[in-house]
Chain A
């Protein structure tokens, strides 16, 4: 088996797993065996059993249903977040790189400001100002995460615009928009895609982190980070309450990271 072929197989496996996770997130309503928000204090803290395979939490809610339901919040929000930052970052970076000038200076100085602070700390501050809620957490993380993409895209655009074929395209009368869409973006997209894939895991962790600290999802929303936070005092007594969401975060982050890694290897011309 050639290296390329085995990479392709791995890519398919991880891709399938990622798609499976996304499907679970999208169809979570139909997959939950119980209502994830229905309290039944009579069965609080039940350990994992055939009836409740991940046990129940302090309010007698089925953990498995909450994990599935939490997939929607955690995975979908993460994907939305990554799409926003990669698209915005790439566009801003490409425009800056291609045109240069005042716009470039202003945008890059703004991105310098964002890059000057540790990402999560800055996101914490923004989320705290905006108030809790998943959407505010997404906005906060988007604010601090786009500069990475704009830096990358700007670098690519600067390199590509000096290529002879781009100059030729310009000479033959292409408008700047045409040059960007036809020549620059296609040469940037690979790098951005890999970066975005690798970022999904990080963003998922950061989103869960904000929720864990009480700045993301608000109760009773089932979200993995906030579920871990509310269950952390039970780590020694009722471990399933905190281990189940932990496991869910771990698996999802691992799958998306492996997918990103494999995609990078697959697209890397040097390795082929």
Chain B
């Protein structure tokens, strides 16, 4: 008995000391990094390239976003946001693709021509084939788009297709209303050209891309094999597995242990582990914005002063600089400054807690009971902040805003949950929704406004309405020249910023981390293209 007690006491002492020492040991940052580097090297040397003895090349990709929670439950572009998975993993391709300046380049199609406000003529390439060997002609594309607009509400709204005519390789699309950005919209991931005659058994479709989906388990994994009939070059890698790893730590450990060859969505806190010669980063500025959407149905938020104070209470600089470890860009308007209509063209509130306090004070929001939370007419300045964890920036933003807003006198209740969609689909029960959205995914500024800001927008969750904005939107819809659209985009952004209906906190600097023997995996500004024929393992 006595011996056992002694033993247990010694054990406690031992563990306590070792824990303390290990914690103290890391006071020198460099020594900690060296040791992890050493560990990583060891692991990398154990793991040889994924070329098996029979010469097939296998590539395993870990992704945090490919799951049902993100409305990406399969690779059928005609469902929700599944087109993203379709295009990212090289199953489907769109008519045109974006370069890093978000300008259109030919892909499945060769060229297009704007006949009149409502008519567009698209000429397809003559050598494109589906992975089942069938060649892609205008008839197949027509069938694909007709199915798309029949089942996909967002696409139907964006495209407003009236009729499609197919003649050999020439496709003529007529729209019901002028759609100046029609070609851009067709390059949204939902515009992936698929062979609709093949159906979508288990969410798997037949596209034109370098890889063919063979097996899919939603939110678990996707198996792909090389497209032997690929029309645009030779595919280097024979087999690909995309693993859906929602947990950032699991992803980091999987990459370290060599279970995966590349990772998308790594937690910023884990970046230092891979900043060495065994791994490579590919990063690019994107228009994925981390933004706040205000709920006008809430009586507190409907108060102009409150929204302005919230906008003044977000410390964007520190959020990007510290919490995102510099992997991001501070946001002003809806678009980053890589766009002609983005960045400094618009103005908004800057971080000013003192100013916000004064503003609230003047508007009658005063802390009468001394608990640090302001009240007005007996109603406390309490807001419910809804967000979700699958974008790792969002919980960080939530907790940092909770503290900075607390200082101003807000009581912020956080609800960071995977179930965010259900909560914000209700008009009550939330005040601020923090989310991530690619605001300029198709290279045209109207995309964000049509999806989020207008009275009939599907994602206008907070019931926001501004007459001037609606008028500008109508004008935008009939403006075809790029410069005019750019000017209108600036005016429209300024409207929503003046209303503080949206607060744009930051833009994502998208990074993928690969093992150093992987080549051909490159980050793109639009965040659409990941696995291509160029992907290789050396």
Contact = CB atoms under 8 A, between A and B. Distances in A.
Interface of A: 6, 10, 37-39, 41-42, 44, 47-49, 54-55, 58-60, 218-220, 232-240, 243-244, 246-247, 250-251, 254, 258, 261-262, 265, 271
Contacts of B400: 39, 41, 59
Contacts of B315: 41
A105 B329 CA distance: 66
A47 B323 contact: no
A196 B399 CA distance: 36
Contacts of A220: 399, 402-403
Contacts of B19: 243, 246-247, 250
B23 A240 contact: yes
Given A58-B323, A243-B22, A48 B27 contact: yes
A246 B16 CA distance: 10
A233 B248 contact: yes
Nearest to B250: A233
B383 interface: no
A49 B1 contact: no
Nearest to B413: A218
16 contacts: A38-B403, A39-B404, A41-B318, A41-B322, A47-B27, A55-B23, A59-B403, A219-B399, A233-B252, A233-B267, A238-B269, A239-B23, A243-B22, A247-B19, A250-B15, A258-B8
A41 B321 contact: yes
B414 interface: yes
A234 B32 CA distance: 12
Contacts of B12: 250-251, 254
Interface of B: 1-2, 5, 8-9, 12, 15-16, 19-20, 22-24, 26-29, 32, 36, 248-249, 252, 267, 269-270, 272-273, 315, 318-319, 321-323, 396, 398-400, 402-404, 406, 414
Contacts of B403: 37-39, 59, 220
B269 A237 contact: yes
Contacts of B29: 47
Contacts of A238: 26, 269
A6 B3 CA distance: 13
A238 to B, nearest CB: 7
B329 to A, nearest CB: 17
Contacts of A246: 19
A18 to B, nearest CB: 14
A253 to B, nearest CB: 10
Given A219-B399, A220-B403, A251-B16, A236 B273 contact: yes
B24 A48 contact: yes
Nearest to A239: B26
Contacts of B9: 258
Given A41-B321, A237-B272, A238-B269, A218 B414 contact: yes
Contacts of A236: 36, 252, 270, 273
List 4 A-B pairs, minimum CB-CB distance, nearest first.
A41-B318, A41-B322, A39-B403, A47-B27
Contacts of B5: 10, 258, 261-262
B226 to A, nearest CB: 35
Contacts of B2: 6
Given A243-B19, A247-B16, A47 B322 contact: no
A221 to B, nearest CB: 11
B269 A58 contact: yes
A233 B64 CA distance: 14
Nearest to A43: B322
A237 B16 contact: no
A261 B9 CA distance: 12
A108 B399 CA distance: 45
A218 B398 CA distance: 12
Given A48-B26, A59-B323, A258-B5, 19 more contacts: A39-B403, A41-B400, A42-B322, A49-B27, A219-B398, A219-B414, A220-B399, A220-B402, A233-B248, A233-B270, A237-B32, A238-B26, A240-B26, A243-B19, A243-B22, A246-B19, A250-B16, A250-B19, A251-B16
A250 to B, nearest CB: 7
A38 B32 CA distance: 27
Given A58-B323, A59-B400, A265-B1, A239 B16 contact: no
B15 to A, nearest CB: 7
Contacts of A41: 315, 318-319, 321-323, 400
Contacts of A271: 1
Contacts of A58: 269, 322-323, 396
A240 B36 CA distance: 15
A232 B2 CA distance: 37
A6 B402 CA distance: 52
Contacts of A55: 23
Contacts of A234: 269
B382 to A, nearest CB: 14
A77 B471 CA distance: 57
A236 B250 CA distance: 12
A219 B23 contact: no
A233 B251 CA distance: 10
B26 A47 contact: yes
Contacts of B269: 58, 233-234, 237-238
Contacts of A6: 2
B260 to A, nearest CB: 17
A63 to B, nearest CB: 10
B71 to A, nearest CB: 22
B273 A237 contact: yes
Contact of A59 (B267, B321, B399, B414): B399
A41 B399 CA distance: 12
A207 B323 CA distance: 28
A88 to B, nearest CB: 31
A239 B22 contact: yes
A238 B270 CA distance: 9
Nearest to A250: B15
A239 to B, nearest CB: 6
B386 to A, nearest CB: 13
Nearest to A271: B1
A271 B8 CA distance: 20
A218 B396 CA distance: 14
